[in-house]
Amino acid sequence: FILKLQPSLYYSHTLISDIVQPGDTVIDATAGNGHDTKYLSSIVGKNGKVYSFDIQKEAINNTKKLLSENNIIDNVELHNCGHENIHRIVKDKISCAIFNLGYLPGPTTNKTIITHSKTTLPAINDCIKLLKKDGIIILVLYYGHPGGQEEKNDVINFAEKLNQKLFTVLKYQFINQINEPPILIAIQKKKDKI
């Protein structure tokens, strides 16, 4: 048995595969190039639903392209608007929401369009309200870019203060790597009514 420690991005998918079930409703709060949306869609299947959000048309188009290239079944609803609109759009209980924070990766993308805690935190709070018991919110924090440290600090500060009677909160990061290795925060809800 060889234990292989997974980078945050891979570990986020391991957590998703442990928690999310066929038929579930889930949220990709930052669609980007669509990798998380594609993965969530494959797990929730034809009876489930993925709500995906991104403020950039380019991200929505990249996600659409990835989904159609992979013949993804029709269980994804793409929204070209910010995740601060989740409370208006998603009414079902969810088993998972994932936020990949930072900028849209790619050679030609605009790296100054980033996520900001003033909208990230209210969206996380909205997802917490929608979360089923044992459901999980996954936050993958990239923070090497200008503005990234501030968001990282705000998000960690928020997550650290969640009541341990109601939530289990994990912080996962390689601590001997250079160049700001991404941090994964996972918030699991312990009770139905919060």
Q: Would you tell me which residues interact with ligand SAM (CB under 6 A)?
A: 29-30, 32-36, 53-56, 59, 82-84, 100, 102-104, 113, 115, 119
User: What does the alpha-carbon distance between residue 78 and residue 168 come to, in Å, rounded to a whole number?
Assistant: 30
Tell me the closest approach of the beta carbon of residue 42 to ligand SAM, in angstroms.
14
Q: Which two tokens stand for residue 4?
A: 């292989």
User: What does the alpha-carbon distance between residue 135 and residue 16 come to, in Å, rounded to a whole number?
Assistant: 10
Q: Which residues pair with 100 in a beta bridge?
A: 140
Task: Report CA torsion sign: 120, 187, 31, 81.
Answer: negative
Tell me the closest approach of the beta carbon of residue 82 to ligand SAM, in angstroms.
3
Tell me the closest approach of the beta carbon of residue 87 to ligand SAM, in angstroms.
13
Question: Tokens 């986020």 belong to which residue?
Answer: 12
Report residue 26: phi and psi, to 5°: -140, 165
Tell me the closest approach of the beta carbon of residue 110 to ligand SAM, in angstroms.
9
CB closest to ligand SAM, residue no: 32
Residue 67 and residue 34 in contact, taking contact as beta carbons nearer than 8 Å:
yes
Tell me the closest approach of the beta carbon of residue 88 to ligand SAM, in angstroms.
13
Tell me the closest approach of the beta carbon of residue 171 to ligand SAM, in angstroms.
18
Q: Which is nearer to ligand SAM, 35 or 132 (CB)?
A: 35
Q: Which is nearer to ligand SAM, 38 or 49 (CB)?
A: 38
Torsion of the alpha carbons at 190, 140, 116 and 93, rounded to the nearest 10: -40
Q: Which is nearer to ligand SAM, 111 or 191 (CB)?
A: 111
Q: Which is nearer to ligand SAM, 13 or 132 (CB)?
A: 13
CA distances from 3 to 6, 15, 174, 188 (A): 9, 16, 15, 24
Q: Which is nearer to ligand SAM, 59 or 124 (CB)?
A: 59
User: What does the alpha-carbon distance between residue 35 and residue 66 come to, in Å, rounded to a whole number?
Assistant: 8
Q: Which is nearer to ligand SAM, 47 or 81 (CB)?
A: 81
